A and B are shown apart, each in its own frame.
Chain A
Amino acid sequence: MYRKSPDQPVSRRRAVPRFAVRTLAVLVLLGLWQAVAMALDNPSFIPAPKAVADRLLLLSTTHDGIRGYSGSLLIEHLGVSLRRILIGSVIGVVGGLVLGVVLGTVPWIRIVAEPVVTFVRALPPLAYFSLLIIWFGIDETPKLWLLAIAALPPVAVATAAAVHGAPTDLVEAAKALGASRRQVIQDVVLPNALPEIFTGVRLAVGIAYSSVVAAETVNGVPGIGGMVRDAQRYLQTDVVVVGLLAIGISGLLIDGILRVAEKRLIPWRGRS
């Protein structure tokens, strides 16, 4: 009996290597990248880590009178894109929530609208972007529409499923306390659906995130997707890589923020 509580030290010992293993993996990847870049010696094909780091610095500062890329700093490109993602996601999530509640509570609307939602969900955003441009021009409007339409289905589907599958025992308990139909939805069905809705929101933000590059293929500068696309046209591979890294890392951060928000907003998740 040299250890009093066998559980805690084990989980703690596992937490440290997780971080170490991840750091090590990143270092190994960087090493591989460096090796391949040196072996190929073709910066237009694979720029070395050092070249990408230098480009990152150039994109983030004003150098010789040139401000970042196409007159905007990297952080500004990213900011514009994040703003688009935020607005598009909010519209999509709110729309998805409303649609999901309706789908989950009114059976005949569910029968009519569910195939439509599934149909839209299956379309790649680039496919309907052309239509949005014809309708709304090439400025902000079609981009926000694209992101909103991309973000809506996962929230609608998750909400509809969770609302439809509200546990009868809790609904009955609320009715036994004298809850009206509206109160049952507001105080039982919706809170009960919240964990699944949140999963839908995380999925929606992820889809909006990956769609922003599509949304910025037309008149997308400033914008991180527009920047990547322009740089591709001029074979500025290091700019493309910086752009990809910026999208990926900010995406990880946003998902992390959503996870923390989820833990705070839905502390009962997995406990009922």
Chain B
Amino acid sequence: MSSPPDLDRATAVHAHEVEHVYGGGRDAVTALGPLSLEVPQGSFLVIVGASGCGKSTLLRLIAGFEQPTSGTVRTGGDQPVPGKGAGIVFQQPRLFPWKSVGGNIELALRYAGVPREERARQIPELLRRVGLHDVAHRRIWQISGGQQQRVAIARALAGDNPLLLLDEPFAALDALTRERLQEDLRRVSAETGRTSVFVTHSVEEAVFLGSRVVVLTRRPGRIALDLDIPLPRTGLEPDELRALPEYAALRATVSQAVRTAAALRGK
């Protein structure tokens, strides 16, 4: 497929006039769109919206788990296919309990075509990157929920995919654990420089993590606000970042948009 200029490799995700309808006939529910979006390589896009606004649907379209009813979605210039080009972190860790922590990572590396000796070398490296040490031999139920989600992130990073998709990955965690995982994810994303699309309903999380925040309207979800977050990605401690006056201002802007969008219908 020839790439038009706007589909070049510098655009990690490209969505054009995307609409998604669940069901058919009288029961048809338009969950999303029409909506257009471009995500440049290396950016950290956070999609915020109230529950049921279609933000998870958008992520599933980008992942290739669903096909849009109309419009086109491209990742890296191609039609998205699950397991090709994107690592995914779900709301639940979805780890395989019959494998150890290391075994879960190993499986991801094997599917990605990494040779055996190389896999053994990469497992501790990947775990270390998400802040885990000496857990490779542990069973899934022997580690905490927060640690499980860290393993899930390491597993999604394992394929060295250019794109990382995260669907409310911290929603089920307690506040303290959530904050620490947010801080670590921000660091990991800055380290690896890969493109991320992160779905959440938390304004705080969106402003802290994103280099760009998109707020969706009520169903069918459309873009209500598209805002760059010009905060430094490195060099600041999380608390210093949160203490910046710009941080509070951005949070207020997004919060305001989310409240308006929740009242606003897409059509």
Nearest A residue to B82 via CB reads: A175
Given known pairs A169-B92, A268-B141, A271-B141, the reply for A175 and B98 (CB within 8 Å) is no
**CB–CB A187/B107 < 8 A:** yes
- Does B213 lie at the interface of the complex (its beta carbon under 8 Å from any beta carbon of A)? no
Q: Which residues A159-176 have CB closer than 8 A to chain B?
A: 169-170, 172-176
- Does B159 lie at the interface of the complex (its beta carbon under 8 Å from any beta carbon of A)? yes
Per-position contact with A for B105-149: 1 when CB-CB < 8 Å, else 0?
Answer: 001100110000000000000000000000000011100000000
- Does A95 lie at the interface of the complex (its beta carbon under 8 Å from any beta carbon of B)? no
B93 to chain A, nearest CB (A): 9
**CB–CB A178/B92 < 8 A:** no
- Does A21 lie at the interface of the complex (its beta carbon under 8 Å from any beta carbon of B)? no
User: Could you say which of B65, B88, B98 contacts A268, with CB atoms under 8 Å apart?
Assistant: B98
User: Could you say which of A169, A188, A192 contacts B90, with CB atoms under 8 Å apart?
Assistant: A169
**CB–CB B97/A177 < 8 A:** no
Report chain B residues within 8 Å CB of A178: 82-84, 111-112, 159
Given known pairs A178-B112, A268-B139, the reply for A173 and B97 (CB within 8 Å) is no
Per-position contact with A for B72-85: 1 when CB-CB < 8 Å, else 0?
Answer: 00000000001110
Report chain B residues within 8 Å CB of A271: 97, 140-141
Q: How many residues belonging to A are interface residues under a CB distance threshold of 8 Å? A: 21
- Does A183 lie at the interface of the complex (its beta carbon under 8 Å from any beta carbon of B)? yes
- Does B224 lie at the interface of the complex (its beta carbon under 8 Å from any beta carbon of A)? no
- Does B94 lie at the interface of the complex (its beta carbon under 8 Å from any beta carbon of A)? yes
**CB–CB B159/A268 < 8 A:** no
Nearest A residue to B141 via CB reads: A271
Between A169, A170, A174, A177, the greatest number of chain B beta carbons within 10 A of the residue's beta carbon is seen for A177
A22 to B159, alpha carbons, bound, how many Å? 56
A104 to B88, alpha carbons, bound, how many Å? 28
- Does B212 lie at the interface of the complex (its beta carbon under 8 Å from any beta carbon of A)? no
A271 to B98, alpha carbons, bound, how many Å? 10
Given known pairs A169-B94, A191-B96, A191-B98, the reply for A177 and B155 (CB within 8 Å) is yes
Nearest B residue to A183 via CB reads: B111
**CB–CB A170/B111 < 8 A:** no
- Does B206 lie at the interface of the complex (its beta carbon under 8 Å from any beta carbon of A)? no
- Does B250 lie at the interface of the complex (its beta carbon under 8 Å from any beta carbon of A)? no
- Does A87 lie at the interface of the complex (its beta carbon under 8 Å from any beta carbon of B)? no
User: Could you say which of A179, A194, A268, A272 contacts B111, with CB atoms under 8 Å apart?
Assistant: A179
Report chain B residues within 8 Å CB of A272: 97, 140-141
Closest 6 pairs between A and B when the two form their complex, measured CB to CB: A178-B83, A268-B97, A173-B94, A272-B97, A191-B98, A176-B88
24 contacts across the A-B interface (CB closer than 8 A) = A169-B90, A169-B94, A170-B94, A170-B96, A172-B90, A173-B96, A174-B107, A175-B65, A176-B63, A176-B82, A176-B86, A176-B88, A177-B107, A178-B112, A179-B111, A183-B111, A187-B96, A188-B96, A191-B96, A194-B98, A268-B97, A271-B140, A272-B140, A272-B141
**Residues in chain A within 8 A of chain B (CB atoms):** 169-170, 172-179, 183, 187-188, 191-192, 194, 266-268, 271-272
